[in-house]
Amino acid sequence: MTSAFLVAGGINFDVPGSIFEVALFALFALAAVIGAIVVVSASDPFVSALSLLLNFVSLGVLYLMLDQPFVALAQVLVYAGAVVVLFLFVIAYLGDRREVFSDRRRAKLVWPFALLTVLGLGGILVGVIIGSDFPDTVSKLADTAAGHDFGTPSAIGETFLTDYLLEFEVTSLVLLVAAIGGIVLGLTGRARHDRMRKLMQTRSADQQKAVHASAEAELRRTRRTAPTAPRTDTAADADGGKEPAS
Partner 1 sequence: MIPKPELQWLAIGPELITAVGAMLVLLIGLGKGAKVRGTVLVLSLLTLAIALGFTIARFHVTTYGAFNGQVDSDELANVGRIIALSSALIAVVFGARGRSDDGRHGEFHALVLSAVCGMGLFVAAGSFVSLFVGLELFSIALYVLCALDAERAASLESGLKYLILGGLSSAILLYGTALVYGATGTFDIAGVAEASHRGVLVWTGAAMVLGGLAFKVSAAPMHWWTPDVYEGAGTPVTAFMSTATKSVAFLVLARVLTTSFAPESDAWVPVVAGIAVTSIVVGNVGALIQTHLKRLLGYSSIAQAGYLLVGLVGWEGSGIPALVYALIVYSAMTLGAFAYVLVLERDLGRDATLADLAGRGWIPEGRSVLVALPAFGMALCALSLAGIPPTAGFFSKFALFGAAVDHGYAWLAFVAVLGSVVSLAYYLRILVELYMHQPDEARAEAFAASLPAPSVAIDESGDPRDEVMTGEPSHPVPATPVRTPGRAPVIALVGVLLAAATLVLAFVPEPVLDLGCDAKMALLDVGSSCTDHQAAEETGGSSTDAAAASPEDVAPVE
Partner 2 sequence: MTVSPEWFVALSGVLFAIGAAGVLLRRNALVVLLSIEIMLNAANLALVGFSRVHGAHDGQVFAIMVMAIAASEVVVGLGIVVALSHLRRELDTDDMTELHG
Subset of 14-53 contacting partner 2 (CB under 8 A): 18-19, 21-22, 24-25, 29, 32-33, 36-37, 39-40, 42, 45, 48-49, 52
Instruction: Give the span between the Cα atoms of 195 and 136, in whole angstroms.
Output: 63
- What burial class does residue 29 get, using C-beta atoms within 10 Å of its C-beta: 0-12 exposed, 13-18 middle, 19+ buried? middle
Residues that bind partner 1 (CB under 8 A): 124-125, 128-129, 131-132, 134-135, 158, 161-167, 170-171, 173-174, 176-178, 180-181, 184-185, 187-188, 191-192, 195-196, 199-200, 208, 211-212, 214-219, 222-223, 225-244, 246
Please name the amino acid found at residue 168: F
67 binds, among partner 1, partner 2, none (CB under 5 to 8 A by kind): partner 2
- Of 14 and 158, nearer to partner 1 (C-beta) is 158
Candidate list 100, 166, 229, 236; residue touching partner 2; CB under 8 A: 100
- Of 15 and 201, nearer to partner 1 (C-beta) is 201
- The minimum distance between CB 202 and partner 1, in angstroms, equals 9
Tell me which residue of 46, 47, 68 sits closest to 1, measured CA to CA: 68
Candidate list 7, 8, 92, 122; residue touching partner 2; CB under 8 A: 122
Instruction: Give the span between the Cα atoms of 217 and 205, in whole angstroms.
Output: 18
- What burial class does residue 141 get, using C-beta atoms within 10 Å of its C-beta: 0-12 exposed, 13-18 middle, 19+ buried? middle
Secondary structure (3-state) at 191? helix
What is residue 163's DSSP assignment?
Answer: T
- Of 112 and 244, nearer to partner 1 (C-beta) is 244
Distances (CA, A) of 5 to 28, 29, 32, 58: 17, 19, 21, 16
- Of 158 and 218, nearer to partner 2 (C-beta) is 158
Instruction: Give the span between the Cα atoms of 46 and 94, in whole angstroms.
Output: 11
Q: Does 5 bind partner 2 (CB under 8 A)?
A: no
- Of 178 and 213, nearer to partner 2 (C-beta) is 178
Q: Does 57 bind partner 2 (CB under 8 A)?
A: no
